[in-house]
Each structure stands twice: as structure tokens, then as C-alpha cells.
Amino acid sequence: MRERLDDRELERTLSEIGERLPYPSRDMWPEVRERIAKQRARRWWPLVIPRGMLAPIAATVAVLLVVAVALTPDLVARAAEILGLRGVQIFRVNETPTPARSPVATPTFAGQPALSLADASKTAGFQVEAPAELGEPDAIYVETAPVRVTLVYRTRTGIPVSPVAGVSAIVVEFRGRLDQAVIGKTTGPEARLESVPLNGGVAYWLSGQPHQFFYFDPNGNFQPETLRLAGNTLLWERGGITYRLEAQVSKEEAVRIASTLR
């Protein structure tokens, strides 16, 4: 007898199979908790780079640069062996994300637009400052979860407009100290990282074609961020706020712009 199942029979049979699939009868949480604890203790830095973020994948060897100045004691314990303390260590990773190139005339930045620096400060909960050198920003955006302010400079004499975002420069500000956070950056093979003096402190200069940026916020949470301009970037910290300037300018020029923050 050769019998065909009709649609209803097939569906019912599938449901019946579903009901009979094996499943664990014990509580899995203790084992999962143990795995989480183990993984936390182990090589936490490479593990936290989510796979999804590395796709689409360019088959190149990239350099992952990590800035670790001084960390909270808890983070220090975990980070010491990987990062080396107080300084910069370079990791080679096998994959790098392909930069998202979408040339648009008027880029959209995340967050709510703010009318003025004062407005932005009120929403952000900290004093938002802008480099006087660049003049008034053309647009200000404030994100609230987590708090982050983006100042947008559409065109500025002497600064080329980024083909990626269609603007000359942006300044991004968020609460977080470089000495409490780990800041890493995936870059192309050409990318370079160096520290430069700024206002008696130190700033970090990333040149080449960086396009993604990772950091840990003060709670130790991993925060990924895509660089909007995929160009040269200066990172520095002042009064508990981390600033980053993205603009296709020279290192000296970036430092000069940063020093006019007020």
C-alpha cells in the first residue's frame, strides 16, 4: 500500500513530532552561568567582538589597535595580561569589516537634533563643548541611550568633504573616561595609531582608513561604534568626557582644532 499524506495530515504529523522532541528536564541555568563566568575570566577582549559585526568580511589582515590607559581595578585584573598596561598594544585579527561607503549629500546622524550647544548640554546632562576653530556647528544631534552628542560641520575651508558621510568634520562627545575605558579600533592594514600631546595631556591619533571603533563604557559594557567619516580621528578626554574629532586633516591640524575646545 502506497499512501500519500494530505496537507492536513502532514501538518498534524509535524506538530506531533514537535511535541515529542527531546528537551532538557533539568535546569540549565547553573551550567550556563558557569560558562558565562569562565568566559568572562578568559580572553575577554577577542571574544566580545561580535561575529555579526565583522561581516561582510574583507579577506585582509587587519590591525586592531587598543588604547588602554588606566583601568578600573576590576578591569585591570582582567585586561592586564592581554593589553599590557598604560600604553598601546597592537593585535592582529584575521577579519575586518568592509567599510560602509554610502556617499550621501545630507547624512543622517543618530539622535534628536538640538538647536544649540546649550540645548544639547541640557539634554546630555553635561557641558557640551565645541572647538572654536571650526566655528558654529551646522547641526547638533543628541542620543540619550547611551548619551552621546554629535556636532556636524558640513563644509569647512581647507577640510575635504568625506565621501562616506558628505561632511567635512564631526565631533562626538560622550561620558566616559579614557582612563576608565578601553578604546579599540579596527583599521585597515594601512592604519596607524600614535599618541600626541594635547593641552598637557595625551590624545590618540588614528590615521589611515579606520572605520570601526570599540570601547567599554564605565560599566564595563562593550560598545561598538562605526566611524562616520572613515578618516583620520583624534581621541582625547577632558573632565570625564571623551571627545573624538573625525576630519581628513593632518595630525597637527587636528591637535590645533582640539585645543580650541571651549
Partner 1 sequence: MEGRLAEDALLVERAQHGDTEAYGELVRRYQALATRTAYVITGTSGDAEDAAQDGFTKAYFALARFRSGAPFRPWLLRIVANEAKNRRKAAGRRPTVDLSVAEDRPSGDTALSPEAAALASERRTFVLGALRRLREEDRLVIAYRYFMELSEAEMAEALGVARGTVKSRLSRALVRLREIAAGEVIGDA
Chain positions contacting partner 1, by CB under 8 A: 1-5, 9-11, 13-24, 27-29, 31-33, 35-36, 39, 47-48, 50, 145, 219, 221-224
Give 215 or 236: the residue with its C-beta nearer to partner 1.
Answer: 215
CA atoms of 218 and 216, how far apart (whole Å): 7
Cell 578568559, located at residue: 42
Q: From the CB of 105, what's the least distance to partner 1, in Å?
A: 28
Run of H or E including 107 = none
Q: From the CB of 90, what's the least distance to partner 1, in Å?
A: 24
CA atoms of 32 and 44, how far apart (whole Å): 17
Cell 499524506, located at residue: 5
Cell 573624538, located at residue: 244
* Upper half-sphere CA count for residue 128 (Cβ side, 13 Å): 27
How many degrees, rounded to 5, is the angle at CA 205 between CA 207 and CA 236? 145
| CA nearest neighbour of 226 among 147, 156, 155, 164 | 164
Q: From the CB of 50, what's the least distance to partner 1, in Å?
A: 6
Q: From the CB of 34, what's the least distance to partner 1, in Å?
A: 9
Q: What long-range pairs does 18-22 form, CB within 8 A, spacing at least 24?
A: none
Query: What DSSP character marks residue 141?
Result: E
Give 48 or 82: the residue with its C-beta nearer to partner 1.
Answer: 48
Q: From the CB of 41, what's the least distance to partner 1, in Å?
A: 13
CA atoms of 100 and 227, how far apart (whole Å): 10
User: 238 with 126: CB under 8 angstroms?
Assistant: no
Coil, helix or strand for 140? Answer: strand
Chain center to CA of 44: 17
Q: From the CB of 111, what's the least distance to partner 1, in Å?
A: 15
Dihedral sign computed on CA atoms, order 40, 42, 45, 46: negative
Q: From the CB of 188, what's the least distance to partner 1, in Å?
A: 23
Q: From the CB of 220, what's the least distance to partner 1, in Å?
A: 9
Coil, helix or strand for 227? Answer: coil
